[in-house]
Amino acid sequence: DPKIIQKPKYLVAVTGSEKILICEQYLGHNAMYWYRQSAKKPLEFMFSYSYQKLMDNQTASSRFQPQSSKKNHLDLQITALKPDDSATYFCASSQEGHNYAEQFFGPGTRLTVL
Amino acid sequence: GDSVTQKEGLVTLTEGLPVMLNCTYQTIYSNAFLFWYVHYLNESPRLLLKSSTDNKRTEHQGFHATLHKSSSSFHLQKSSAQLSDSALYYCALSYYGNEKITFGAGTKLTIKP
């Protein structure tokens, strides 16, 4: 059974629209993250949440808003979509408090903005 | 800020030859953790190796790496490449008390018969 679920797997959107990327983890972790991987670029840290509270935000644009309705959920709302937002978005989780930040990644959502 | 450098963007090797992927890092924190993540096509990135102990070799699935704090390096090695090793390899950095991981640019390793 998949431990981290991301929905949808593929998403096509038009410029200016709004989308929500879903992430649920069933590893019992208390910390969750979002990463982005654009074409020909490395994995880029976006947000970290711990116990449903925002801990770190490395995304300059307010168009990206994480939403945590439950401890094991961390969705990503993206508004006013632009073609440059096209990327694969990975959700990850870890058990905070361990002496290393080993993170487990979901399968990703590939977003294409036309 | 923290940074991770992977000089080689693409590495192509013949099966059976040794693998060495370079990784150097910069951080002001002495309690750094270094990682190698592997990302196979159409799969999720997953942890391959990790270390926080200076000069101690760590091994997993035939790969090994040694953290050298004096040279800020954490190179990934394997004695004999296999076709199934073809993937994207990320070196990454974190430190105790920080949940954010800083990834390098990644090295795409392609193994040919």
pLDDT digits (tens, 9 = 90+) for A63-75: 999 999 888 999 9
B33 and A101: CB-CB below 8 Å?
Answer: yes
Q: Give CA–CA dist A88/B88, Å, rounded.
A: 15
CB neighbour list of residue B80: distance below 8 Å, 6 or more residues apart: B16, B17, B18, B62
Cα diameter, chain A: 43
- Higher-pLDDT residue of A53 and A109 is A109
| pLDDT reported for residue A6 | 96
Residue A1 binned pLDDT confidence (cut-offs 50, 70, 90): low
At residue B46, what is the residue type?
Answer: R
Q: What is the pLDDT of residue B111?
A: 97
Q: Does A30 touch chain B (CB under 8 A)?
A: no
Q: Two tokens at B53?
A: 């102990």
Task: State residue B101's pLDDT score.
Answer: 83
- Note the pLDDT of residue A8: 96
Positive or negative, the CA dihedral B42, B112, A44, B73 is positive
* DSSP state letter for B83: G
Evaluate if residue A94 carries a pLDDT over 90.
no
Torsion of CA A74, A45, B51, B55, to 10 degrees: -170
Bridge partners of residue B64, in order along the sequence: B59, B77
**pLDDT at residue A99 is higher than 60:** no
- Would you state the pLDDT for residue A54? 86
What's the first-to-final CA gap in chain B, in angstroms?
41
pLDDT given for residue B80 in this prediction? 97
Please enumerate residues of B whose Cβ is less than 8 A from a Cβ of A. 33, 35, 43-47, 50, 52, 90, 94, 96, 98-106
* Residue B41 confidence (pLDDT): 85
Residue B99: partners with Cβ closer than 8 Å, 6 or more residues away: A31, A33, A48, A50, A55, A56, A94, A96, A101
In tens, the pLDDT along A22-37 reads 999 999 988 899 999 9
pLDDT profile of chain B (113 residues), mean per 10: 92 97 92 92 90 94 96 97 96 79 92 96
Q: Residue A69 gets which letter from DSSP?
A: S
Among the residues of B1-113, which ranges form H helices? none
Q: How confident is the model at residue A42 (pLDDT cuts 50, 70, 90)?
A: confident
Mean pLDDT of chain A: 89
Predicted pLDDT at B22: 97
Residues A111 and A13 sit within 8 Å (Cβ to Cβ) = yes
Q: How far apart are CA B2 and CA B41, in angstroms?
A: 27
B52 vs A99: CB contact, 8 Å cut-off? yes
Count interface pairs A-B at CB distance under 8 A. Answer: 58
